[in-house]
Every structure is written in C-alpha cells, then in structure tokens.
Amino acid sequence: MNIFITLDYELFFGAHTGSVQESIIKPTNHLTELLDPYNISATFFVDSGYLLALERQKKQYPQLEDDYTVIKNQLKELVAKGHSIELHIHPHWEDSFFDGKKWHMNTKRYRLDCFKQEEVTNIFDRYTNVLTKITNKKPIAYRAGGWSAQPFSNLKPGFESNNLRIDSSVYPQGFYSSSLQNFDFRAIDPYVTQYSFDENLTKQEENGKFLEVPISSIKVTPLFFWKFASKKLIKNKEHKPFGDGSAIPLSTRQKLKLLTISSYSVVSIDGFKSTLIQKAFTNYTQRAKTHKHFVLIGHPKAFTPYSLKKLKEFIESTKDHHNFVTYEIV
C-alpha cells in the first residue's frame, strides 16, 4: 500500500486566525521531528493566497514581514528535507486584510466558483507563481480549500496553464452544501483510490487528462461525534490543539446531522479523528481497488499531542510492509 501523509498548511479562518508560530510553524516542526527518524516525506498543500496576502501588506506592517520570512524559511527547509510542496487555494484571501492587529477574514467568496472563470485562472497563475518563487519547484498537485473543487470545468484552464496534473480534493462519499462549502463526492466508491478524469471531477474517464488521488474516507457513526464532543468538554491537555486560533464554526444543522446520522469523513491526523486511522487503513488494505493508495489528511493547526501519538503508532505498525510516498509516484 502507498501511504500519503498530506497536510493543509494554513491559518485558522474563524474569528481568531491564530499566530503563525503556534498554528503553523511549531506544529509543523513537531510533525517533521516525528517523521525524520523514519525518513518519511510528507506533502504540504500550502495556502498560497495567504502568502500573497502577506506580500501585499508586509511593507506596511513589520509583523507581516516577519511572518512571511519565517514561513518562507520553513518551506525552504521542508523542500531541503525532501518533503513535497503542492498548491492549496483558499480564494477568500483575495478579499481579506490585516489592520495592524489582526486579520479580517472575508469569507463571502470562500469558493472558487464565486469567481468568474478568467478570475479563477488568474488566481491559479498568481498562487502557483508565489509558491514556485519560494520553493524553486512548480507544484504538480492541487487541493481545493474546503474540498470545494466543483465545477471542475471552471478550474481546468488554471490546471492547464500551470501544468497541474493531479487533484486530491475528493473524499469518496463526502457531501456538504452551505454558503461557504459545496461539494458532492457521493458518486465515488470509497475504495477507488486513483482515477483519470477530464471536465467532471467525479466522472471517471479512461483517457482523462488529469488524475484524482482521493483523500481516504471512512463511514462514521453519531457515537464517534458524541465521543469527539465529550473530549472537547473535558479539556484534557492531550487533546488540546497546538494551534491558537478558531475554525469557522459548523452550523447548528450540520452539528445535529453529525450527532444523529452516520456520515463519511476524511481519514485525518487531526485531533480525536486520528483514532480512526488504523481502522480505515485495515479497510483499505482489504478493499482498495486497482491502485493501492491510502491518503491521510491533516492540518498542523489542529494537531494535538494525542493525534501525533496515534500517527506515530500508525507509522510503527506499517513502515516495514508499506511505502510512504508523495504525489510524484503517480
């Protein structure tokens, strides 16, 4: 089995974005310290709109100059260690700004389908360029912010103009629709781990121009989310996130849905969700079709001591018989 450890490298987007040091730099260092002894390379999907937002205002605010420098240095260090840096787009950075004290997140245009097609292509070009300028290597893979990569026809020219050939936004059976996020992956079987596509992200085409390498998913019962909620209430240090910001809150309707109806979730390194990694991996080793891929997702800002312990346990149990890889192999 090919195992991909993938991270969305970003701040929080709620009322408090968190600091660069606590929400990005330090938890990423915790992760690489864990991976180094095993010589495992991870894939970091870097929120490139944030890099451009820093560039846009760093001359005005020295704090942003410092933040930009420390992120740039960490990305260069990650590349030097053999980790892969790929493209992640949260387009709301086009409308967000720093006031000298904090970031103001304007999420009215949180998805790329809120923009005209020519604007989307321009975003792809600019966001790819800022990442390439830092890493000296063009990305080959993309992950949509909030998994909202549909309709793909709007993104396709941006893929083509930047020679992107892989998407990793889909998680099979996932579905969500709100003013911020909108995706429907219910057409994809959970154990299809790679397929070609062209205009439609969820339509498998034998001669499609692009490859989808889906994030692995798992069916989760309401009981899991009740346990998840209880861990948050107890406030055990083992379950306290390293990040010091706050996420965009789920709607009351979505919370109730998770607590009452079984649903599909990404297989995640984040927080208490890391409990599900081993069970999901067993499912995939037994049932994955054609290509044997297992794709983990995580967010450094959401790591906890518990979740990194579970990741280490997973690595220890798999390292001798499976391959930890990046998207360059597909």
Rounded to 5°, the CA angle 271-276-277 comes to 95
Write the CB contacts of 289 (distance below 8 Å, at least 6 apart in sequence).
189, 191, 192, 193
C-alpha torsion 6→85→183→221, nearest 10:
10
Residue 227, pLDDT score: 87
Query: How many helical (H) and strand (E) elements, i.e. helices and strands, does the chain have?
Result: 10, 15
Write the CB contacts of 272 (distance below 8 Å, at least 6 apart in sequence).
227, 228, 231, 239, 304, 306, 307
- The pTM assigned to this predicted structure is 0.97
Residue 230, pLDDT score: 81
Residue 289, pLDDT score: 75
CA contacts within 13 A on the Cβ side of 234: 11
Each residue's pLDDT tens digit in the chain (330 positions)?
Answer: 999 999 999 999 999 999 999 999 999 999 999 999 999 999 999 999 999 999 999 999 999 999 999 999 999 999 999 999 999 999 999 999 999 999 999 999 999 999 999 999 999 999 999 999 999 999 999 999 999 999 999 999 999 999 999 999 999 999 999 989 999 999 999 899 999 999 999 999 999 999 999 999 999 999 998 988 887 777 788 999 999 999 999 888 888 999 999 999 999 999 999 999 999 999 999 999 778 999 999 999 999 999 999 999 999 999 999 999 999 999
Two structure tokens written together for 157 = 């020219």
Write the CB contacts of 235 (distance below 8 Å, at least 6 apart in sequence).
none
Two structure tokens written together for 142 = 């993309």
Residue 290, pLDDT score: 77
Element (H, E) at 9: strand 2-9
Mean pLDDT value across the chain: 96
Residue 291, pLDDT score: 80
